[in-house]
A = this chain, B = another copy of it.
């Protein structure tokens, strides 16, 4: 019993899988820079500030990870995610007084930029003359708000943006975040909204060159990404308040899957969402509750992330108080 540690696979097998994943991953290029920024960010926000105590810190992960199929990467498998959920949640966490580490997929939706068009520079701006640039009337409020709020959050040291692309980058950076926030114990939250690949091709067994399209079909074998969530909870940052997400397209298996994730990975809460209705409703699953959270259409701020973050902050507060006893 002790060997399996609540999982279907023995702990030493999982540990070996994890070691093999990290050993084979191409090293993070800007590791020192990321590490320095993380340390400074958590240190600054964990000290009592002018108007009160230390801030809580949440790491919001957002967007999908890619799995390269070739070492000199031409083809890869991607997980679809606009990053809208993570960007919106970041705004509400900042509003609630949290400092946010925004670990996001390059090119996905950014906080405060959700209402901008795809290519805002070309679509929203007009050059009037040598010294004047004008924002189109229809986008004026959105552009001003995006720039002002983002710059303010970054300048105040409350928002740290860290981009990733591959599953290798993501899991290395997530580990660094977890190791760093361990120092603030229960005051840290991990809000794991990124769409993380379940399968990957181990770097060393990967084709070095582009896969050739000869004749006939292409058969591929991918191995499972080791279940990092359990080690994250148990070893990387055992005191952090942990929320993971479960997305399914089939509503029939969604809550069952969310329950299983809660139990298997010892999450504090799992947010269950179905692909088609995810902007209207999510169900927050805890060990003894299933709480439906819906978008409040009567309010002008009408994202489902608003009541969701409110609920999580409330539960996090209770968790912090219990830990302080």
Contacts and interface: CB of A to CB of B under 8 A. Distances in A.
A206 interface: no
Interface string A139-172: 0000110111011000000000000000000000
B69 A73 contact: no
A255 interface: no
Contact of A77 (B69, B124, B198, B276): B69
**Interface residues on chain A, size class:** 35 or more
A42 to B, nearest CB: 23
Contacts of A69: 77
A121 B120 contact: yes
A75 interface: yes
Interface in A254-271: none
Given A76-B80, A126-B151, A135-B133, A250 B210 contact: yes
B80 A74 contact: yes
Interface string A66-83: 100110111111111000
Nearest to A275: B72
Nearest to A214: B224
A68 B73 CA distance: 19
- Identical chains in the assembly: 2
Given A126-B147, A217-B222, A221-B217, A78 B80 contact: no
Interface string A205-247: 0001111010111111111100000000000000000000001
Nearest to A223: B217
Contact of A79 (B8, B75, B116, B127): B75
Nearest to A120: B121
B224 A217 contact: yes
A118 interface: yes
Interface stretch (A19-27, A43-51, A106-114, A307-315): A106-114
| The 10 A-B residue pairs with the shortest CB-CB distance in the complex, in nearest-first order | A198-B213, A72-B249, A209-B250, A218-B222, A120-B121, A209-B249, A199-B218, A78-B78, A220-B220, A210-B249
12 contacts: A72-B249, A75-B79, A125-B133, A126-B147, A133-B134, A133-B135, A199-B213, A209-B249, A209-B250, A210-B275, A217-B221, A220-B220
Interface of A: 8, 66, 69-70, 72-80, 106-107, 110, 113, 116, 118-122, 124-127, 132-135, 143-144, 146-148, 150-151, 195, 197-199, 208-211, 213, 215-224, 247-250, 275-276
